């Protein structure tokens, strides 16, 4: 029996795989933007997170239905 948690973990793994396998393409296409992905497809992207969420809402997609991640540009430096 599959639980809700199992389905959520599976969906998270699928989206993580998508971001990993398409990272070069995402960086090239959406540098320094927030990207919303659902079911292995980019549904929206914008440099401003609030604008991205409004764009999703205009398409009647709630932010909880997508995976949102910031895609840094090639020259982006992260200090940990």
Contact present, 67 and 27 (Cβ < 8 Å) = no
| Residue 80 belongs to a domain | no
Q: What is the pLDDT of residue 2?
A: 75
pLDDT of residue 77: 66
Whether residue 10 lies inside any domain: the answer is: yes
Q: How far apart are CA 66 and CA 42, in angstroms?
A: 9
Which structural domain, as residue segments, surrounds residue 61? 4-71
CB proximity list for 30: less than 8 A, separation 6 or greater: 42, 45, 71
Identify whether 77 is part of a domain: no
- pTM equals 0.81
pLDDT digits over 8-22, tens only? 888 889 889 999 999
Total domain count, the chain: 1
């Amino acid at each position: 029996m599959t639980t809700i948690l199992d389905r959520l973990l599976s969906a998270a793994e699928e989206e993580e795989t998508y971001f990993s396998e398409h990272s070069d393409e995402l960086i090239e296409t959406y540098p320094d933007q927030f990207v919303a992905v659902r079911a292995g497809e980019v549904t929206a992207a914008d440099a401003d997170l609030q604008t991205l969420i409004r764009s999703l809402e205009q398409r009647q997609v709630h932010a909880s239905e997508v995976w949102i991640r910031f895609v840094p540009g090639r020259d982006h430096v992260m200090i940990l």
